[in-house]
Homo-oligomer: A and B are copies of this chain.
Amino acid sequence: MSSFSRCAACKYLRRKCPQDCILAPYFPSSNPQRFVCVHKIFGASNVTKMLQQVPGHLRAEAAECISYEAIARVQDPVYGCVGIITQLQQQISQIHSEIMKTKGEMIAHHCAHSQHHPPPQPQGDPSWSISLHQQQQDYSQSDEHLLRKY
């Protein structure tokens, strides 16, 4: 890339943008603010290293995720991306509570009807209840795994 069409990173860092600039494909000059956030949070050197260690075909996705994390931390300097994770976990927990409540109401409804009619066929837990329980375990375990190692 010539010095006349430097990428957002090279422009911000006031340097020439080489032909093989690793940042250029992911930080075009059309979106300078994106690199400002990434530079503020990670630093150009760290971002370059992070992209270098990822296979070429996955770099675009890595750059996208790095930018997302940087923007989240600029917008929320205390919690960053972890604030979004916590919010989603709370949503799942809340949905789980509401499903359990609804399940209780359904059982009560069945019991009330079964006093007048034959009992329903045994069905075990509804499929969504089992898979939700499994999902809850999945994400809890992945978090525990993440924290246990460090």
The interface of chain A, by Cβ under 8 A from chain B, is 31, 33-34, 37, 40-43, 45-46, 50, 53-54, 58, 61-62, 64-69, 71-73, 75, 77-85, 87-89, 91-92, 94-95, 98-99, 101-102, 106, 126-128, 131-132, 135, 138-139, 142, 146-147, 149-150
Contacts and interface: CB of A to CB of B under 8 A. Distances in A.
A94 B132 CA distance: 9
Contacts of A85: 81, 84-85, 88
A85 B82 CA distance: 9
6 contacts: A41-B50, A43-B43, A50-B77, A69-B69, A87-B139, A99-B128
A135 B62 contact: no
A103 to B, nearest CB: 10
Contact of A62 (B34, B78, B98): B78
A86 to B, nearest CB: 9
